[in-house]
């Protein structure tokens, strides 16, 4: 019986082996040959896996800095890789720790001066590099890429840049040895549902456009729901309105530590499985409560400012 159990354990280990696709292998080969790589692939295709392969599960030669557009994304990658046992640091606008680690997760602006001064890492990853076109932050991205020292390799990742070949040509004009990898398949299909097509009849006690929309969408099995609001106050007000109106047959139980981090107002919304998310929240509230709950599928509705549009591993439809 013990022999049979050992055989099952071996099969279980094999189940955890992930074989990279050809396009991922191509990108890693370019990196290991010392080239810069620009990758175009859809959300969920496995762009981050390219870095994980190159780094040998966080045991990379020399320091790697993995930059993301938002603090929420940085928190998410930090938690994910530390859960795997990686030695990872973080540098964002509100948190800086373990900066000598072999892998640093960072917002790009925190690294700009270092790159301009010629102090670059072995590998600089720019996830969501379409931020080059952002009217407010694009200049910082362009400067960081253009001023990265020659010894620093670049790995640029995105699924929403229409002209990656032009970006490669720009890098080559800067004197860099750059290649591009394109992958068309979309593993997570997009499905559009128009609000007017949600015909589920909700109780008349649910008042207001957004509460009724959320109730209809949830009743039609389209939850959890992510709603974007233009400003912090708008996100908070909308989340409060939805939490107040939605029936709550299964309140979320928060522990004392979670309540202390988020405060009474947000705690009441979380009990209704509704939350708001923006950069004005404390690090503890965002990374310690709202984001883990959303990722675990414990929230029905999250109302966020556009910072979250850059993408995060939330199971929200």
Mean pLDDT, rounded, for 193-222: 87
Q: What is the pTM of this model?
A: 0.76
Tokens standing for residue 95: 């948190």
Give the model confidence (pLDDT) of 271-312 as tens digits. Answer: 999 999 988 888 889 888 998 899 889 999 999 987 666 655
Whether residue 40 is found in the same domain as residue 142 = yes
What is the 8-class DSSP label of residue 117?
Answer: T
The Cα–Cα gap between 40 and 156 comes to 9
Q: Which of 156, 183, 210 is the last residue of a domain?
A: 183
- pLDDT given at position 55: 93
> How does DSSP assign 37-91, residue by residue?
EEEEE-TTS-HHHHHHHHHTTT--SS-EEEEESSHHHHHHHHHHHHHTT--EEEE
What one-character DSSP code corresponds to residue 296? T
Q: 171 and 303: one domain?
A: no
- Would you call 98 helix, strand, or coil by DSSP? coil
Among 183, 206, 225, which residue terminates a domain?
Answer: 183
Residue 72: per-residue pLDDT: 78
- The reply to whether 94 falls in a domain is yes
Find the mean pLDDT for residues 123-151: 93
Categorize the per-residue pLDDT at 317 as very low, low, confident or very high, splitting at 50, 70 and 90.
low
Whether 205 and 170 map to the same domain: the answer is: no
Alpha helices by DSSP H, listed for 98-137, are 112-116
Residues 44 and 174 in one domain: yes
Q: Are residues 218 and 136 in the same domain?
A: no
- Quick one: residue 33, left, alpha or beta (phi over 0 = left, psi -120 to 50 = alpha)? alpha
Categorize the per-residue pLDDT at 316 as very low, low, confident or very high, splitting at 50, 70 and 90.
low
Could you tell me the residue range of the domain that residue 246 belongs to? 195-310
User: Which residues contact residue 8 at a Cβ distance below 8 angstroms, ignoring those fewer than 6 apart?
Assistant: none
Query: Is 147 found in the same domain as 36?
Result: yes
162 and 298 in a single domain? The answer is no
Residues 194-202: contacts with CB under 8 Å, at least 24 apart? 198/222
pLDDT at 213: 92
- Residue 218: give its domain's CATH number: 3.40.50.300
DSSP element (H, E) containing 180: strand 178-183
61 with 89, same domain: the answer is yes
Rounded-to-integer distance, Cα 17 and Cα 13, Å: 7
Alpha-helical segments (H) within the chain:
2-15, 22-32, 47-55, 71-83, 112-116, 138-147, 164-173, 209-219, 232-245, 256-271, 283-285, 291-295
Counting the structural domains of the chain, the total is 2
């Amino acid at each position: 019986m013990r022999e049979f159990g050992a055989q099952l354990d071996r099969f279980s280990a094999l189940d955890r082996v992930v074989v990279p696709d050809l396009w991922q292998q191509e990108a890693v080969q370019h990196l290991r040959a010392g080239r810069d790589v620009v990758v175009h692939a859809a959300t969920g295709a496995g762009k981050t896996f390219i870095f994980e392969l190159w780094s040998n599960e966080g045991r990379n030669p020399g320091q790697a800095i993995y930059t993301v557009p938002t603090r929420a994304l940085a928190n998410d990658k930090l938690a994910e890789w530390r859960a795997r046992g990686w030695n990872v640091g973080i540098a964002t606008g509100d948190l800086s720790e373990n900066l000598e680690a072999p892998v640093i997760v960072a917002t790009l602006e925190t690294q700009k001066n270092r790159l301009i001064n010629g102090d670059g890492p072995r590998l600089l990853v720019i996830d969501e590099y379409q931020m080059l076109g952002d009217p407010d932050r694009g200049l910082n991205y362009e400067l960081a890429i253009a001023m990265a020292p020659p010894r620093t390799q670049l790995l640029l990742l995105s699924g929403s840049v229409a002209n990656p070949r032009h970006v490669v040509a720009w890098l080559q004009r800067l004197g860099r040895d750059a290649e591009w990898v394109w992958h068309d398949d979309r593993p997570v299909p997009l499905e559009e549902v128009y609000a007017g097509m949600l015909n589920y009849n909700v109780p008349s006690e649910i008042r207001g456009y957004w509460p009724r929309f959320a109730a209809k969408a949830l009743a039609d099995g389209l939850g959890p729901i992510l709603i974007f609001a233009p400003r912090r106050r708008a996100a908070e007000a909308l989340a409060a309105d939805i939490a107040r109106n939605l029936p709550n047959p299964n309140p979320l139980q928060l522990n004392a530590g979670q309540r202390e981090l988020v405060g009474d107002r947000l705690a009441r919304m979380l009990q209704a499985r509704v939350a708001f998310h923006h950069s004005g929240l404390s690090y503890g509230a965002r990374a310690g409560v709202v984001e883990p709950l959303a990722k675990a599928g414990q929230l029905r509705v999250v109302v966020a400012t556009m910072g979250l549009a850059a993408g995060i591993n939330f199971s929200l439809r």
